[in-house]
Chain A
């Protein structure tokens, strides 16, 4: 019985430590995350002339962009920046480009404060920038995947978790500035 009691206490301490780690990660991922650690994928940021950085000055967002895929119905995410879904068009090309990131303070935590008219800048490896203007914002449920559907315009769809227990998704759609 004493052994069982010890096991429960150790498990409890471990779970509390894990929760504290998760809270710290949420508040400041740069401090605790392993550098360039990407869940489930090893890749180079500069592959195939993919976007490297996303900046929204009004929201104090300036983070690197990493390519991501959905494999076996699992979305790849990273602690180190934003994820660009490589099965969507390149930002600036015709269609709907998808970029998402954790709602942590140094990633897309401020995205929920986005307002119509604010500018989103996407940087490419050759330092060229594509400028987008936020045209829509919305809160949707996680099953509203139509926000990812193709579009006739040149748009970038940014999203992150929001709501109680991160049960919703905050979506900001920005259209390429002509």
Chain B
């Protein structure tokens, strides 16, 4: 009963898009093709600040995931969604969910993204702090701000590269429903307490006033 209720709740709470938001994944285990690794003193995080660290860029179908591991071990994941794939109403809905609209000019000039407006959203994670090295990126650019290039067949994984979609390495294969295991019982507790209270109140009410 609980999964059904949860599904109904989720389906009611989340808007359905004609063009669904792609699964960006997590910087903890990126699965998109890595297009750049940038080292340097200043990498921007949209809406936050600039930080020194290692900035890794992953792309798929025009969307981009930026993984910045700062020198202090704070990780910033920025999901860059190509806004041209969405209607005006959808963009407004996404903005209401915390996505930041980046105009075409800003995307190109400030962030080095390919043409078109973007929607960006940040998440945080923790990572192993790296001491910056003067090593040049695989594409030979040392950028003061995150520079994203169009994914292409020449993109070469740099240091720290992880599995790309083409990589065949043994891994978990039993996630057909694309959800992680439920490892908590908080919902069960709260639902039981609530249902228990309702049942008791109803029972006492009927006992007192029922004929």
> Which residues on A sit within 8 Å (CB–CB) of B206?
1-2, 4-5, 8
Q: Indicate if the CB atoms of A152 and B180 lie closer than 8 Å.
A: no
Cα A40 to Cα B126 in complex, Å, equals: 35
Contact B210 A153 (CB under 8 A): no
Chain A neighbourhood of B201, CB < 8 A: 12
The answer to whether A95 and B27 have CB atoms under 8 Å apart is no
Chain B's closest residue to A162 (CB) is: B184
The dominant DSSP class at the B interface is loop
Instruction: Please pick, from A8, A14, A116, A157, the residue contacting B127 in the complex, using a CB distance under 8 A.
Output: A116
Residue of B163, B179, B198, B200 near A152 (CB, 8 A) is B163
- A15 to B170 Cα, complex, angstroms: 44
Q: How far is the CA of A159 from the CA of B182 in the complex (A)?
A: 10
Q: Mark each residue of chain B from 189 to 205: 1 if its CB lies under 8 Å from any CB of chain A, else 0.
A: 11011011111111111
> Which A residues are in CB contact (< 8 Å) with B105?
none
Q: Which of A48-56, A58-66, A86-94, A124-132 contacts B (4 or more CB under 8 A)?
A: A86-94
Measured between beta carbons, the chain A residues less than 8 angstroms from B202 are: 8, 12
Judge whether A135 and B128 touch: CB under 8 Å.
Answer: yes
Chain A hits for B185, CB < 8 A: 22, 25-26, 102, 166
Q: A142-B179, A148-B175 are known contacts. Are A161 and B28 too (CB-CB below 8 A)?
A: no
User: Which residue of the partner chain, among B126, B174, B180, B207, contacts A137 with CB atoms under 8 Å?
Assistant: B126
B26→A153 contact, CB < 8 A: no
CB distance from B119 to the nearest CB of A (A): 18
- A166 and B187 contact, Cβ closer than 8 Å, known pairs A136-B75, A153-B162: yes
> How many Å from the CB of A161 to the closest CB on chain B?
3
Q: Is B49 an interface residue (CB 8 A)?
A: no
Residues of B contacting A33 with CB < 8 Å? Answer: none
A5 near B26 with CB under 8 A, answer: no
For A16, give the chain B residue with the smallest CB separation: B196
Cβ-defined contact, A88 with B172, below 8 A = yes
A15 contact from B192, B204, B210, Cβ within 8 A: B192
Residues of A131-178 contacting chain B, CB below 8 A: 135-140, 142-153, 157, 159-162, 164-166, 169, 171, 173
Bound: A49/B167 CA distance, A? 27
**B132 interface hit (Cβ, 8 Å):** no
A82 to B: closest C-beta gap in Å: 10
Contact partner, A144, options B25, B127, B195, Cβ 8 Å? B25
Interface residues, chain B, with chain A CB atoms under 8 Å away: 23, 25-31, 73, 75, 123-129, 161-163, 167-190, 192-193, 195-207, 210-211
- Top 7 A-B residue pairs of the complex, sorted by shortest distance between their CB atoms: A166-B184, A150-B171, A8-B203, A161-B184, A15-B196, A12-B200, A75-B181
Q: Which residues of A are at the interface with B, using a C-beta cutoff of 8 A?
A: 1-2, 4-16, 18-19, 22-23, 25-26, 69-70, 73, 75, 77, 83, 85, 87-89, 93-96, 98, 100-103, 108, 115-117, 135-140, 142-153, 157, 159-162, 164-166, 169, 171, 173
